[in-house]
A and B are shown apart, each in its own frame.
Chain A
Amino acid sequence: RKEVEQDPGPFNVPEGATVAFNCTYSNSASQSFFWYRQDCRKEPKLLMSVYSSGNEDGRFTAQLNRASQYISLLIRDSKLSDSATYLCALRSSASKIIFGSGTRLSIRP
């Protein structure tokens, strides 16, 4: 089993829709969890950290489920500008940082 798995997509949804995707992980010792956004041919940028109690930032909500070992990202009222690849990342030590392969999201008008 891969350490981190993401559905590669693409998710193709209309503007204004709600979309959610998950990232499963196998290492129960993982301590920190993140969602990054990566635009085409650009560097990843942190979208949000994922806290144990779940957290929200505007239209974005991140959840952590330690029992089932997954994190999720929910995007409400999606905008054209949300089109990107979303990478999950988890950290279990100073050096052990694992990125998922990313989920491609395309928002259509």
Chain B
Amino acid sequence: NAGVTQTPKFRILKIGQSMTLQCTQDMNHNYMYWYRQDPGMGLKLIYYSVGAGITDKGEVPNGYNVSRSTTEDFPLRLELAAPSQTSVYFCASSYSGEGGYGEQFFGPGTRLTVL
């Protein structure tokens, strides 16, 4: 299993540009998440999904959009990039069922700089 993979690893955007951060998991997890982590800070939840076709906002959703057309993929779209979106973005997945909430597995992250 590759686990959770993210592309690209690094990206520099100009203000106003758009991009999609890709996230794929091969563990058949039903839950997927997008977090951002600013330097010296904890993780903040941007969006999450409890299954294909179902997404919902987290703590800091403004400026982002997501979709979940398959169990495996959960792309994050940035429209009109702003310097405040400079951060490290982590995708995570977990299995949650009758036994409770499972461990979250994280991807390696995408380092985004907006200039």
**Could you pull out 23 A-B pairs where Cβ atoms are within 8 angstroms?**
A4-B42, A8-B40, A32-B100, A32-B101, A42-B109, A43-B107, A43-B108, A44-B106, A49-B103, A87-B42, A87-B43, A91-B101, A94-B31, A94-B48, A94-B50, A94-B96, A94-B101, A95-B45, A97-B33, A97-B104, A101-B40, A101-B41, A101-B42
In the bound complex, what is the Cα–Cα distance between A34 and B102 (angstroms)? 11
List residues of chain A with CB within 8 A of the CB of B103: 34, 46, 49
Report B104 CB to chain A, min CB distance, Å. Answer: 7
Decide if A70 is an interface residue (CB 8 Å cutoff): no
User: Do residues A42 and B41 form an inter-chain contact, with CB atoms below 8 A?
Assistant: no
| Interface residue total, chain B, C-beta cutoff 8 A | 24
| Interface residue total, chain A, C-beta cutoff 8 A | 21
User: Do residues B48 and A95 form an inter-chain contact, with CB atoms below 8 A?
Assistant: yes
Decide if B26 is an interface residue (CB 8 Å cutoff): no
Decide if B56 is an interface residue (CB 8 Å cutoff): yes
Decide if B74 is an interface residue (CB 8 Å cutoff): no
In the bound complex, what is the Cα–Cα distance between A98 and B35 (angstroms)? 11
**A residues neighboring B (CB under 8 Å):** 4, 8, 31-32, 34, 42-46, 49, 87, 91, 94-95, 97-102
User: Do residues A95 and B41 form an inter-chain contact, with CB atoms below 8 A?
Assistant: no
In the bound complex, what is the Cα–Cα distance between A33 and B115 (angstroms)? 37
In the bound complex, what is the Cα–Cα distance between A94 and B32 (angstroms)? 11
Q: Other than the known A44-B90, A100-B42, what 12 A-B pairs have Cβ atoms closer than 8 Å?
A: A4-B42, A32-B101, A42-B109, A43-B90, A43-B108, A91-B101, A95-B48, A97-B33, A97-B45, A98-B42, A99-B35, A101-B40
